[in-house]
C-alpha cells in the first residue's frame, strides 16, 4: 500500500504545470540544447538589418557623388540636385528602422549620409542674417500670371522697404496696375516684356537680354512679339557708392514629364545666354534678381553660379525655399551677387502668387 507522502509527491510531479515534464534526465538536457541552438542561431546586432545598412550606404554615396549622376538621360542629375536637401529626410527614417531592428551595422552605416548631408547643408540650418545691415536692400518676386490680387501684392512688397524691387511674370493686364501701385514708393522703374525693376535710385542703360531667343523657334517670332515676351533685362542703378549692374531674369520652366523626364531645355538655353551676358559684364558690381527655375545646387546653372554668389547661402536664414508658396520645397527664386557682399537674406511672407518673395541686404 502506497504511503500518503509518496502519493502527494507523485501528484505534484504529474499535476498541472508538471505533467509530461521530466524533473531530470535526458529530456531536460534536450530542451536546454534546443534553446541554446535557437539563441546561437539568432543574428547578432552587427548582422541584423543588412538591407537597412545597404540603403544607408547607398543614400550617403548618392549625396556624396551627386555630381556624377548622369544628366544625359532625362536630366536625372539635375533632378537629384534640385531636391538634394530633402535626401536628408531619409536619415532619421532609416535610423528609426535601425533602432527598431537593433542593428548596430545600420546605425554605423548611417554615419555616412549624416556626415555628407551636414557637410553639404549644415551651414544652411542656422540664421546667418544680420537684418538692418547693408547699404542696399533688394527684393525679387515672381508675382504669378494668375495672381488674383495684384494691388494687394504690390502693397505687401512696398511694405518690405526694398530699395530695388524686381518683378517677373508680369502680364500685360497686370503690369499697369503694378506701375500705378508702386509709383509713390519707387519713382524709377523699367519694364521690358514680362520682367521689370522698380527703384528708389535712378536707372540708366536698360536693355533686354534675349534669353527667349536662345531657342531656334523663338527666332522666327516677329520683333514686336519677341519684345512683348522678353524675360530678362539689364540696367544700371546709380548708387552713392557708384554704378551697380542689375539683371532681372525669368528663365524657362522646368517640368517632369513621362517622356522627357526632367525637361529643362528652354531654361538651360536661357541660362547659357544669361551666363554669357554676366561673363561679359564690365561693371565689377553685379546683382542678379530672378526666378531661375532652378536651385544653386543644379549643375545646369553653373554658368551663373560659377560667376555669382548666392546671397541665401552666404547670409541666409534657413534653406529659404520659395516654391510652391503653399508648401515650399525648392529655392528657385534667386539673388546672386558679384563685387558686393550680402549681409542678410530672407524670405518674405506669401502674397497672391504661387512663389514666395525673397529679399537681401547687400553691402559695399
CATH 3.60.10.10 correct for 136-363: yes
Report the chain's mean pLDDT, rounded to a whole number. Answer: 89
Checking DSSP bridges between strand 333-338 and strand 358-363, what pairing results, if any?
Answer: unpaired
Cα gap 97→35, rounded to integer Å? 28
- pLDDT of 216 reads 46
Cα gap 18→27, rounded to integer Å? 13
Radius of gyration of the chain (CA): 32
- Spell out, as residue ranges, where the chain has pLDDT lower than 70: 1-25, 33-34, 36-43, 131-132, 213-228
- pLDDT of 185 reads 97
Domain extents in the chain: 50-124, 136-363
| pTM for this model (two decimals) | 0.84
Q: How far is CA 312 from CA 76, 189, 266, in A?
A: 25, 25, 25
- pLDDT of 41 reads 52
- pLDDT of 45 reads 73
Q: 114-166 pLDDT, tens per residue?
A: 999 999 999 998 888 776 678 999 999 999 999 999 999 999 999 999 999 99
**What is the separation of C-alpha 21 from the centre of its chain, rounded to a whole number of angstroms?**
66
- pLDDT of 129 reads 79
Which three cell numbers mark 208?
Answer: 533686354
- pLDDT of 99 reads 95
- pLDDT of 29 reads 77
Q: 49-104 pLDDT, tens per residue?
A: 999 999 999 999 999 999 999 998 889 999 999 999 999 999 999 999 999 999 99
Amino acid at each position: 500500500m502506497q504511503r500518503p507522502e509518496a502519493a502527494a509527491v507523485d501528484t505534484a510531479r504529474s499535476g498541472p504545470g508538471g505533467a509530461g515534464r521530466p524533473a531530470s534526465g535526458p529530456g531536460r538536457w534536450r530542451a536546454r540544447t534546443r534553446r541554446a541552438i535557437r539563441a546561437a542561431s539568432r543574428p547578432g546586432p552587427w548582422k541584423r538589418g543588412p538591407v537597412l545598412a545597404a540603403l544607408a550606404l547607398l543614400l550617403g554615396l548618392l549625396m556624396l557623388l551627386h555630381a556624377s549622376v548622369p544628366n544625359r538621360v532625362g536630366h536625372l542629375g539635375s533632378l537629384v540636385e534640385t531636391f538634394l536637401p530633402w535626401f536628408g529626410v531619409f536619415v532619421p527614417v532609416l535610423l528609426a528602422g535601425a533602432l527598431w531592428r537593433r542593428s548596430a551595422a545600420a546605425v554605423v552605416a548611417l554615419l555616412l549620409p549624416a556626415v555628407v548631408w551636414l557637410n553639404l547643408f549644415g551651414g544652411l540650418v542656422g540664421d546667418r542674417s544680420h537684418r538692418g545691415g547693408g547699404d542696399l536692400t533688394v527684393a525679387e518676386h515672381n508675382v504669378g500670371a494668375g495672381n488674383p490680387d495684384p494691388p494687394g501684392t504690390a502693397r505687401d512688397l512696398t511694405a518690405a522697404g526694398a530699395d530695388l524691387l524686381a518683378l517677373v511674370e508680369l502680364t500685360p493686364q497686370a503690369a499697369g496696375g503694378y506701375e500705378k501701385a508702386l509709383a509713390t514708393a519707387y519713382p524709377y522703374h523699367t519694364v521690358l516684356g514680362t520682367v521689370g525693376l522698380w527703384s528708389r535710385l535712378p536707372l540708366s542703360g536698360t536693355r533686354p537680354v534675349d534669353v527667349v531667343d536662345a531657342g531656334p523657334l523663338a527666332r522666327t517670332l516677329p520683333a514686336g512679339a519677341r519684345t512683348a515676351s522678353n524675360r530678362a533685362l539689364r540696367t544700371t542703378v546709380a548708387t552713392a557708392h557708384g554704378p551697380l549692374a542689375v539683371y532681372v531674369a525669368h528663365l524657362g520652366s522646368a517640368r517632369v514629364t513621362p517622356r522627357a523626364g526632367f525637361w529643362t531645355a528652354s531654361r538651360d538655353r536661357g541660362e547659357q545666354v544669361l551666363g554669357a551676358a554676366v561673363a561679359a559684364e564690365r561693371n565689377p558690381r553685379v546683382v542678379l534678381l530672378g526666378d531661375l527655375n532652378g536651385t544653386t545646387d543644379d549643375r545646369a546653372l553653373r554658368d551663373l553660379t560659377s560667376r555669382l554668389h548666392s546671397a541665401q547661402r552666404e547670409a541666409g536664414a534657413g534653406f529659404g525655399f520659395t516654391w510652391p508658396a503653399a508648401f515650399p520645397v525648392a529655392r528657385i527664386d534667386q539673388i546672386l551677387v558679384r563685387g558686393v557682399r550680402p549681409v542678410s537674406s530672407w524670405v518674405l511672407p506669401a502674397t497672391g502668387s504661387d512663389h514666395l518673395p525673397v529679399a537681401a541686404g547687400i553691402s559695399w
